Chains A and B, each alone.
Chain A
């Protein structure tokens, strides 16, 4: 198999359901290895259909799908290998939960791979821990809430240890806290080298989370590139049945009212604040041990990661920002105050990249003290 910088590629893919309804027309797009990509589009744009091509469930009527630079082979044995590497999580968790208990469903995929039992156990444990389901492993799947079922579906995919995780509307139907947890998890997985591809209608999420967006409109690919590159074209956004993200619009209007340039485009509240703030920033203490470290007692505390959130819920940590901790802490710092970010292992790179972006793009250098 050839190695390529593109982990998934669609080349002139067309597909019709029942040979009649054209769901995809000549779609071409590429997803970089290790990136976070979003497929955007209105209902019926063809997002789910495209996803099912990525793991060989659907075969294009014309065109081809490439994985890691090589066209997908549709022989049964090769399809099994592809589905191990490209895990697809469907929108409705009830469509993909088959077992009576949580751990049994999570172990379903690895057991189908025919790997040794010790490896199945290890992968199941890891997937349960990643998704915060370890304590619910023996619960009946019938009695779970919708959000919990989504986590089970996700854990079932992660237990396969895929290279690419494809999630169809991962945040649909979830409350804001659960959305935050899911997206934190994707950050963690991406930090470990996994390519994450999601589809969503949530343009705000797509804008702040994605490295690249690929827009489908009535079965056609109309854009591939950076989020700013797409949302810079309001007419195209409108034609695709979408709206401009709030942060993009706030920046545009605020800069227009202040007679300042729109560029650079902030993706989050901290970036907008970085662009506009004239304060001298405070200090950001990053605590990876969860014990407060060297942070002063007056520092505002936030959490980034499920492990320390669980500790906070148990009353072990005194936290102001249980969710959206990174943004919350950066906001405090940019207002001239000190903040301590309690950070899970595996998310350090995300924080470093964020600080780097604030410095290089928005000119705000934040003093970060790592414990």
Chain B
């Protein structure tokens, strides 16, 4: 969590309009979902990886690589199942002891499409996450007239999740020092005690934070010191153009209009 926060705050794409980035990510995600040709999600994947690389200054942090590998691992299991259960002529048979698992040609096509769509989706959303600090997200929420309270809640939850995580880590260390994780029974009991402890500490922390906010003349809004760029016509058009271009590619390659 800490690493992602640091990445977003030092990203070269930090000052791009957050709404623009979100719309771009969503348009690439949606066009790869609605297309039937694997070329489109492949293009979305290439664009997503390029944006992600730029956003992380071409230094691929371990946490990003882990996030991608995590996602791919989960999806890989799914696509294998899809390839095996989809109707069609068997293209490849995998002998597994007493059973034979047949991967059909239609299944393989669909599996490849699903895999490409998933990884493309992961890469574009990671681009958004690694280039947009939470304060910018809240700023964007306020700019589209979402309730102010929601934006402030997002900031506070984000801020205090780090503190809660830190505190719980310390409590776990303290518990381990006192054999709190020795054996399953102890571990479960310790975990539940820490959970309860964290809840009560959170209530305390909330009261103290409210006092601190009053001390600093809080007016109900967390102002952003260096706001990101506003959504311009160019940025509003970019997702539309990207979607249209990739959809046209799908149309040319498959001849099908998908609604």
Contact = CB atoms under 8 A, between A and B. Distances in A.
Interface stretch (B17-25, B30-38, B212-220): B212-220
B208 A95 contact: yes
B215 A88 contact: yes
Interface in A116-143: 120, 124, 138, 140, 142-143
B2 A90 contact: no
Nearest to B220: A112
Contacts of B213: 98
Interface stretch (A103-111, A186-194, A261-269, A285-293): A103-111
B135 A96 contact: no
Nearest to B10: A138
B211 A103 contact: no
A320 to B, nearest CB: 38
12 contacts: A90-B211, A90-B215, A95-B211, A96-B212, A96-B215, A98-B159, A101-B225, A103-B225, A112-B216, A140-B2, A142-B2, A160-B216
B215 A57 contact: yes
A107 B224 CA distance: 9
B5 interface: yes
Q: Which 6 A-B pairs have the closest CB atoms?
A: A96-B212, A111-B223, A95-B208, A104-B225, A112-B217, A107-B225
Given A55-B215, A87-B215, 5 more contacts: A88-B215, A94-B205, A98-B222, A100-B9, A107-B225
Q: Is the interface of A mostly helix, strand, loop or mixed?
A: helix
A83 interface: yes
B155 interface: yes
Contacts of A88: 215
Contact of A101 (B9, B218, B223): B9
A99 interface: yes
B17 to A, nearest CB: 18
B211 A104 contact: no
B226 interface: yes
B127 to A, nearest CB: 19
A92 B214 CA distance: 15
A52 interface: yes
Interface in B156-178: 156, 159, 162-163
B9 A140 contact: yes
A90 B214 CA distance: 12
Contact of B208 (A84, A92, A108): A92
A41 interface: no
Interface of A: 52, 55, 57, 80, 83-84, 87-88, 90, 92, 94-96, 98-101, 103-104, 107-109, 111-113, 120, 124, 138, 140, 142-143, 156, 160
A112 B226 contact: no
Contacts of A57: 211, 214-215
A80 B212 CA distance: 13
Contacts of B211: 52, 57, 90, 95
Given A99-B135, A138-B9, A108 B216 contact: yes
A15 to B, nearest CB: 14
Given A138-B10, A142-B5, A109 B135 contact: no
B209 A100 contact: no
B149 interface: no
B257 to A, nearest CB: 45
Interface hub of B156, B217, B223 (most chain A Cβ within 10 A): B217
